[in-house]
Structure 1
Amino acid sequence: MPRGDKSSYTNKQKRKAEHIEEGYEKRGIGKKEAERRAWATVNKETGGGNKSGSGRGVKDTNVAAKKGGRIGGPRGGKAAARRPAAARSRSAKKAAATRKRKAAARSSARKTTRSSARKTGTRKTARRR
């Protein structure tokens, strides 16, 4: 089988590669580079050719496909952009203050647990003697 032969790929994998390639071309990437990237993506997601007789591997999980996209959707952050700068700054300061407060509470809680753990350890050794 020559290099670059796509006969061991299923029709679904070929369709997927074609669709990914179109997406790259739409973004202004050249035909050859788009095709190369598309097949690289298909290989990454499915682990190569999946046609029977081509040594099917484990079931694909599409982790890379789930990775994409943004939290809040494609138009995320527009509501915040509509708000005046002063309001954004005010809420940012409030958020920073809250983070600072919570961090301080966490560190003080950690200190109290450490000191109590130390005390119990010393008590146990004192009793043994």
Structure 2
Amino acid sequence: MSQDLSDTEKYLIQRDAMKLVDSIVAADAQKAVARSKISAGWPMQMDGYVHPVVLIELVAQTSGIQIRWRELEKDPASHSGGGFIVGIKDAEFFCPQIPLNAEVETCAVKVAKHMNYAEFEGTCTMNGQTLGRSFIQVLRTG
């Protein structure tokens, strides 16, 4: 089945200021790729930059896209109920800050899954440069 990825709100539970993903590039059974433009309304923003810790949230949201994509692949009538509990297993950053208006691409790859628990490894890049990597645990609730 080919899903329409243009409606980000169909795949993301975050809304308003916490919705950091602007577009979904791709999603399949193993990974998701999303794009985001850093804006002044983002958390951790100060003096024209955001702290790289927000890259963890980009990986979490992109992982959520993959999980929701899989739910809709199994059952197109599935409603998005519940949320996610996310744990950070590891994170490393390769930049001290990220400028406003930068475009960041995030790729989250599922590396393990058992029932409603999954682990993802995510990488955030800007213009081909790796900004950070995160390894997270995601528990789907509801």
TM-score by length of structure 1 reads 0.23
As a proportion of its length, which structure holds more helix? 1
Largest Rg, 1 or 2 = 1
Structure with bigger RCO (C-alpha 8 Å, 6+ apart): 2
TM-score by length of structure 2 reads 0.21
